[in-house]
């Protein structure tokens, strides 16, 4: 069998249909290579029992423990049976529970004093941790030969505990790994020999053996150090090759022009730019002046003035004879950007119109819901070059849209756009246009290096003068209902002082959402029952219901309006305009207001069910207030239990306004995949060992090596093994994904 094919061997051949099917469907493991890269999450020492005191709630766990007590209880007038087993390990106790017909086998086997491994999901019942219907494997077999085998298998060994699922326990995964482990010898080593030897790394086949079947803790450390490097290095080589390929593409240099549109715009600005804005603008202008496409990520705090920086870049391109397109993720945001940009530019946005400036240009809006006449005019302005700036949603990507000379694409909120969409827009230039990607979710340096490794990064971390501080507080609605009543009083006080408030809910709450097909009533019934038993299982609070309650109750007499994604675009625009004009006191909305919405008079925000949002999202939402001269207030309403991780997350958000700090917290609390999301889809499967928040040094060092290697040998002609591994990692779809950027 040749070296690559043993890794490509389908698991079906080696493990049988049922196991292979579960691995494919629930763990995304399809080949021998996939399984060999499914590393243990941690290791248990035989004899050193798991600390039951530290079990994480709602996670699948494997514990090694002893049965202290087992008893059968009757319920439902003797019609139902329940087996309760108490485990102990010296640090704490854990209850197991089995119901119905499932009690017979464990009742015979789980006798006091027996030791076993148990796997299941940790839940809480009557304030006690429990595993319901866990699977288990007894460790003290009665047959002498089996006992010796069991002791050999476990005694003194580190037991690998694998990321598992309900359908497949950790020890069954371990048995499957045993079946494929001989193939580790065929692993293709991606590290160039000089790099491997220079850094003293273990050979790859040995690292795979050590990570799955370590004899000592030192084996585990050895293997991890090596496997982390592989992941970081291969990913950074892929990104370095992309950066290199970009530098080979031609682009039209767009240099600033004296006394042009940009100078006219700067002259009429009522404030001075921050040092940060000046510095970042210079970085962008330098990139625009080169003859290969700019690829820059502009990240900054909520309200740090990214739109201003992007607009100045667009004006530079218009001065140089090109056109600029700004792509926004929602119609509300596209309209908002169009409104604020035309306001900032004044007569400069009315080029060719009566009363417009002779140095001006036309700024057009293009969204899917525009009327035919307006749309036709916008398309005409783009193809003739009359419009220097266009702001739109993905409607900009349609085939009908043609540009006179597209020179710059600005993508707002990058994580909401598929790569294909950005690529479609970029292909509308005669030569590849320059690309500026903006994100208001600050990203720790390592994530930026990993996810956006192909982009140069600019950071805006200063807030412009005139931005007010925002005070944030957690409102524990369940423990202290009077706090929630006080929150609505605060909203009234803000309105009495001439200000406005946002109330944000996780859900819209209309019939279309509730009654999807036949599931509607049943789902409603089930969720009502679930919420009686456990309030955290109730459906998230909804915009329409909360708005209704507020109008009738706590905020009666105030003007309360709703805004959500299912409204007609004209209706949304109308509500936003009236809110911006101060005619609406309270806007109850979904997260459509999360990015870019700018109403300086809105000073307070109440986020309902705040624990249902991520850290970065809460930070984004909070950035909608405190945009004027009055201080901002953000109230995070939650029914989560005081000791829960959800409440800890909210307290972290309330404690700091530093988005970079919050994004680190976010990353520590969530798995990489969630955070890296689509931006990394082409390479996500490679991140098994590396944690981007802890392995900053590894990533930085791997990036340096990767850049040097690609500069010396862009096609990797002298590194066939590295090419092979890259090809396996970046199959056709992923390769295209990376290429499109």
Nearest one of 106, 107, 103, 64 to 87, comparing CA atoms: 64
pLDDT (mean) for 230-241: 88
pTM: predicted TM-score of the whole model, two decimal places: 0.66
Tens digits of per-residue pLDDT, 68-89? 999 988 887 777 888 999 998 8
Residue 551 has pLDDT above 50, yes or no: yes
- Sign of the CA dihedral with 542 first, then 547, 550, and 553 last: negative
How many other CB atoms are there within 10 angstroms of residue 533's CB atom?
9
Round to whole Å and give the CA distance between 265 and 268: 5
pLDDT of residue 685: 45
More confident residue, 484 or 56: 484
Mean pLDDT, residues 148-167 taken together: 68
Q: What is the mean pLDDT of residues 546-563?
A: 92
Query: Phi/psi at 73 (nearest 5 deg)?
Result: -120, 145
Higher pLDDT, 573 or 267: 267
In this structure, the strands spanning 602-607 and 470-476 are unpaired
User: What's residue 468's pLDDT?
Assistant: 75
Beta carbons within 10 angstroms of residue 294's beta carbon: 25
Quote the CA–CA distance of 79 and 107 in Å, as a whole number: 18
Encode pLDDT of 295-308 as tens digits. Answer: 888 888 777 788 89
CA distances from 555 to 29, 35, 485 (A): 53, 57, 11
Residues in the chain: 741
Contact by Cβ (8 Å): 104, 82: no
Angle formed by the axes of helices 331-345 and 306-319, to 10°?
A: 70
Local confidence band at 128 (pLDDT 50, 70, 90 cut-offs)? confident
What backbone phi and psi angles, to 5 degrees, belong to 61?
-130, 160
The mean pLDDT value of the chain amounts to 81
pLDDT per residue as tens digits for the range 386-396:
999 999 988 88
Percent of residues, the chain, with pLDDT higher than 90: 29
pLDDT of residue 529: 46
Q: In terms of pLDDT, which residue wins out, 520 or 670?
A: 670
Does residue 737 have a pLDDT over 60? no
CA-based diameter of the chain, in Å?
98
Asked if residue 34 has pLDDT above 90, the reply is: no
Res 741 pLDDT > 50 = no
Question: pLDDT, tens digit, for every residue of 673-713?
Answer: 434 444 444 444 456 777 766 777 888 888 889 999 999 99
Of 55-69, 646-660, 723-737, highest mean pLDDT: 646-660
| SS3 state at 63 | strand
Using CA atoms, how far apart are residues 163 and 530, in angstroms rounded to an integer? Answer: 28
CB distance 304 to 311 below 8 Å: no
The DSSP 8-state label assigned to residue 103 in this structure reads G
Which H or E element spans position 588? strand 586-589
Q: Is the pLDDT of residue 348 over 50?
A: yes
Looking at residue 520, its pLDDT comes to 47
pLDDT given at position 323: 94
Residue, of 29 and 523, whose pLDDT is higher: 29
Q: Give the number of other Cβ atoms within 10 Å of residue 456's Cβ.
A: 14
- Could you tell me how far CA 215 lies from the centroid of its own chain? 37
The whole-number pLDDT of residue 678 equals 40
| Residue 218's pLDDT band (cuts 50, 70, 90) | very high
The mean pLDDT value for 484-492 works out to 93
Question: What pLDDT sits at residue 532?
Answer: 43
Q: Helix, strand or coil for residue 314? A: helix
Q: Is the pLDDT of residue 669 over 70?
A: no
Which has the higher per-residue pLDDT, 363 or 627? 363
């Amino acid at each position: 069998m040749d070296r690559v094919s043993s890794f490509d061997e389908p698991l079906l051949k080696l493990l049988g249909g049922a196991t292979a099917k579960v691995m494919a469907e629930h763990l995304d493991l399809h080949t021998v290579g996939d399984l060999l890269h499914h590393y243990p999450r941690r290791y248990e020492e035989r004899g050193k029992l798991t600390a039951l005191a530290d079990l994480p709630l709602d996670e699948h766990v494997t514990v090694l423990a002893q049965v202290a007590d087992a008893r059968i209880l009757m319920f439902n007038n003797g019609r139902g049976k329940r087996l309760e087993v108490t485990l102990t390990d010296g640090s704490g106790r854990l209850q197991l529970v089995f119901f119905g017909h499932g009690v017979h086998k464990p009742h015979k086997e789980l006798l006091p004093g027996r030791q076993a491994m148990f796997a299941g999901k940790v839940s809480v019942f009557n304030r006690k941790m429990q595993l319901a219907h866990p699977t288990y494997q007894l460790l003290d077999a009665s047959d002498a030969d089996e006992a010796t085998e069991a002791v050999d298998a476990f005694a003194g060994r580190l037991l690998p505990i694998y990321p598992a699922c309900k359908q497949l326990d950790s020890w069954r995964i371990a048995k499957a790994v045993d079946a494929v482990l001989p193939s580790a010898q065929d692993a293709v080593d991606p590290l160039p020999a000089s790099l491997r030897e220079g850094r003293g790394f273990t050979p790859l086949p040995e690292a795979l053996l050590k990570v799955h079947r370590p004899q000592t803790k030192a084996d585990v450390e050895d293997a991890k150090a090596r496997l982390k490097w592989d992941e970081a290095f291969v990913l950074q080589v892929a990104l370095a090759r992309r950066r290199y390929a970009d530098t080979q593409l031609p682009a039209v240099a767009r240099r600033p022009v004296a006394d042009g549109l940009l100078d006219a715009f700067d002259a009429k600005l009522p404030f001075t730019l921050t040092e940060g804005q000046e510095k970042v603008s210079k970085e962008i202008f330098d990139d625009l002046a080169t003859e290969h496409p700019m690829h820059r990520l502009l990240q900054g705090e909520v309200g740090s003035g990214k739109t201003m920086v992007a607009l100045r870049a667009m004006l530079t391109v218009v001065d140089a004879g090109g056109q600029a397109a700004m792509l926004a993720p929602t119609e509300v945001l596209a309209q908002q950007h169009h409104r604020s940009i035309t306001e900032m530019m004044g007569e400069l946005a009315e080029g060719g119109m009566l009363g417009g400036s002779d140095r001006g240009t036309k700024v057009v809006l293009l969204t899917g819901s525009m009327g035919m006449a307006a749309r036709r005019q916008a398309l005409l302005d783009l193809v003739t070059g009359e419009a220097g700036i266009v702001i739109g949603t993905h409607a900009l990507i349609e085939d009908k849209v043609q540009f006179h000379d597209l020179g710059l694409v600005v993508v707002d909120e990058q994580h909401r756009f598929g790569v294909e969409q950005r690529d479609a827009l970029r292909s509308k230039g005669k030569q590849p246009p320059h690309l500026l990607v903006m994100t208001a979710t600050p990203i720790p340096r390592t994530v930026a290096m990993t996810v956006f490794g192909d982009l140069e990064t600019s950071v805006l971390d200063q807030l412009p003068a005139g931005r007010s501080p925002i005070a944030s507080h957690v409102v524990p609605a369940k423990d202290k209902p009077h706090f929630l009543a006080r929150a609505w009083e605060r909203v009234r006080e803000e309105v009495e002082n001439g200000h406005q408030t946002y109330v944000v809910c996780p859900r819209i709450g209309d019939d279309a959402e509730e009654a999807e097909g036949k599931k509607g009533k049943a789902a409603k019934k089930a969720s009502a029952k679930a919420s009686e038993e456990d309030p955290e299982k109730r459906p998230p609070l909804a915009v329409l219901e909360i708005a209704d309650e507020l109008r009738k109750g706590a905020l009666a007499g105030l003007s309360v309006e709703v805004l959500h994604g299912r409204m007609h675009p004209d209706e949304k625009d109308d509500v936003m305009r009236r809110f911006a004009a101060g005619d609406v006191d309270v806007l109850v909305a979904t997260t459509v207001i999360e990015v870019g919405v700018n109403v300086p008079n809105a000073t307070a925000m109440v986020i309902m069910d705040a624990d249902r949002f991520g850290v970065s999202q809460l930070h984004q939402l909070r950035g909608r207030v405190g945009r004027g001269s009055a201080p901002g207030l953000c109230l995070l309403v939650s029914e989560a239990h005081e000791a829960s991780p959800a409440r800890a997350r909210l307290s972290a958000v309330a404690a700091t306004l530093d988005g970079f700090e919050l994004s680190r917290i976010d990353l520590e609390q969530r798995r990489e995949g969630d955070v890296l999301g689509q931006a990394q889809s082409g390479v996500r499967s490679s991140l098994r060992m590396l944690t981007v928040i802890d392995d900053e040094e590894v990533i930085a060092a791997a990036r340096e090596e990767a850049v040097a290697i690609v500069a010396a040998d862009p096609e990797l002609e002298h590194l066939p093994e590295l090419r092979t591994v890259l090809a396996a990692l970046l199959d056709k779809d992923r390769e295209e994904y990376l290429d499109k950027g």
